[in-house]
Amino acid sequence: MPDTFLGLTPVLDSFLNDHPRTIYFALGTNVIISPQNVIIILKSFLKLIDQNSNSSNQITSILNNENPHIHISKFSPQFAILSHVNTKLFLSHGGAGSSHESMYTATPMLVLPILGDQPRNAELLESADSLKKNTERLQFLTKINSKRKYRAADLIEIVMSSAKYQGVKDENGELKVDNENLLRD
């Protein structure tokens, strides 16, 4: 994961603060959706918001960003949105980057795999045991990476290949590595 991430724009920050139960929907930059499927998705979101909505009249207002409960943008700072306390669900294509960011921020995902590695990622994410282990591993590696960046690649290689690493936790329940020499400054 990168060292820094884009923050929320004032508009997105205001939107998220005003909506305590937000679903973030993003399918990455390589997915092209037909106009018919866009309308189906938007109508589904409208039904989630208001069971009595007349969705056919509201599609235009949504596409013009005039609906107070739906915000559309061509690019969004995904990590910042997933990190926001009001983001409750991530509806995603299941790409590797999105999956890692969702696991890191502990944001539940609903995956709609479309192409490439996404179907396999969805299968891996579906396994609760796999998700828990991968989340703990990612959080642990990120913590090491942030503290000792120049040694991160070596540590990641050792942790990923070390049989001793599997399931070893310290008294606080955090995953640990046996080799203390690598953690010294």
Per CATH, the number for 1-126 is 3.40.50.2000
Identity of the amino acid at 64: N
The rounded distance, in Å, linking the Cα atoms of 5 and 46 is: 30
The rounded distance, in Å, linking the Cα atoms of 92 and 79 is: 13
Q: Name the one residue in this structure whose structure tokens are 């690598």.
A: 182
Residue 108: DSSP 8-state: -
The rounded distance, in Å, linking the Cα atoms of 89 and 87 is: 6
Per the CB < 8 A criterion, the answer to whether 110 and 91 are in contact is yes
First to last CA, the chain: 22
| pTM for the whole structure | 0.64
Give the pLDDT score at 96.
82
What is the chain's pLDDT, residue by residue, as a tens digit (185 residues)? 566 778 899 999 999 999 999 889 888 877 778 888 888 888 888 877 776 656 556 778 888 888 888 898 888 999 999 999 999 988 888 888 888 888 888 888 888 887 787 778 777 777 756 666 766 776 666 666 665 555 556 655 655 555 444 555 666 766 555 544 444 44
Per the CB < 8 A criterion, the answer to whether 83 and 105 are in contact is yes
Q: In DSSP terms, which residues pair with 109 in a beta bridge?
A: 90
Helix (H, G, I), strand (E, B) or coil at 26: strand
* Order of strands across the sheet that contains 87-92: 22-26, 87-92, 109-111
Give the pLDDT score at 27.
84
**Domain ranges within the chain, ordered by starting residue:** 1-126, 128-185
Cα–Cα nearest to 83, from 113, 53, 103? 103
